[in-house]
A and B are shown apart, each in its own frame.
Chain A
Amino acid sequence: GAGVSQSPRYKVTKRGQDVALRCDPISGHVSLYWYRQALGQGPEFLTYFNYEAQQDKSGLPNDRFSAERPEGSISTLTIQRTEQRDSAMYRCASSPRPSGSINGELFFGEGSRLTVL
């Protein structure tokens, strides 16, 4: 596609429910990143993939958070047993270059805003 596409754009859920957020990167982009942005803050790194391999998940807050990218394209970020503190904008970004390339630039999607009641 022309840009990074995320869905849903807005998600309201009740505490304890599971949610799945989807990211469709720019076609051909090798690396895919997930960030979380709280209101009034800058984005914070969660995890990233090179192709289908999850290279680093050190930013995931706890084991309720998981991500996958099974075919090296679309990625899903899943949050189990959601809590109110999970409310934030979840942003996906992709890069045309492998993560080891210093010159790579990140292209962000519009984000998925999650509200946990």
Chain B
Amino acid sequence: KQEVTQIPAALSVPEGENLVLNCSFTDSAIYNLQWFRQDPGKGLTSLLLIQSSQREQTSGRLNASLDKSSGRSTLYIAASQPGDSATYLCAVRTDTGFQKLVFGTGTRLLVSP
């Protein structure tokens, strides 16, 4: 059974810092990995989607890497801003048949001005 773990569970940093969020999964047979942002009372916003054949994806200040063989992904946030405060979830897709995602429990990020 695929299990996804995210470390740390919570992170508090001052504005401007670069930071790394970690995601690990137990079964390396994944088809893609997706990072989401969750704001209180809001839906999940997809940030980056990495296919299993890719090593990284970038969008603005965000960079996600994937090491499928070791079961790890990192989300790098450059020059953090208070608006980045949210819960970040990673999810892996393990089935070709449908998009059943297995989610981690998330990292709650607080960026202070």
The yes or no answer to B44 lying at the interface (CB within 8 A) is: yes
Nearest residue, chain B, Cβ from A59: B100
For A83-109 the 0/1 string (1 means CB < 8 A from B) is 000000001010100011011111111
Nearest residue, chain B, Cβ from A101: B99
For B8-45 the 0/1 string (1 means CB < 8 A from A) is 00000000000000000000000110101000011111
**Which among A44, A93, A99, A105 is the interface contact of B49 at CB below 8 angstroms?**
A105
Is B43 within 8 A of A106, CB to CB? Answer: no
**Which among B43, B49, B99, B100 is the interface contact of A91 at CB below 8 angstroms?**
B43
**Which among A99, A102, A105 is the interface contact of B46 at CB below 8 angstroms?**
A105
Residues of B in contact (CB 8 Å), total: 27
Given the complex of chains A and B, what is the CA–CA distance between A45 and B4 in angstroms? 14
Given the complex of chains A and B, what is the CA–CA distance between A105 and B101 in angstroms? 11
**Looking at chain B's contact residues, is the secondary structure mostly helix, strand, loop, or mixed?**
strand
Q: Which residues of B contact A42 (CB under 8 A)?
A: 4, 89, 91, 103-106
From residue B91, how far is it (CB to closest CB) to chain A in Å?
7
- Looking at A31, A56, A100, A106, the one whose CB has the most chain B CB atoms below 10 A away is A106
**Looking at chain A's contact residues, is the secondary structure mostly helix, strand, loop, or mixed?**
loop
Interface residues on A, range: 20 to 34
Given the complex of chains A and B, what is the CA–CA distance between A31 and B101 in angstroms? 14
Is A40 within 8 A of B100, CB to CB? Answer: no
For A42-54 the 0/1 string (1 means CB < 8 A from B) is 1111001010000
The yes or no answer to B65 lying at the interface (CB within 8 A) is: no
Given the complex of chains A and B, what is the CA–CA distance between A95 and B103 in angstroms? 17
Q: Which residues of B contact A55 (CB under 8 A)?
A: 97-98
The yes or no answer to A33 lying at the interface (CB within 8 A) is: yes
Is B99 within 8 A of A108, CB to CB? Answer: no
Beyond A40-B105, A108-B44, 8 additional contacts (C-beta under 8 Å) are: A4-B43, A41-B105, A43-B91, A43-B103, A45-B100, A48-B99, A56-B98, A99-B97
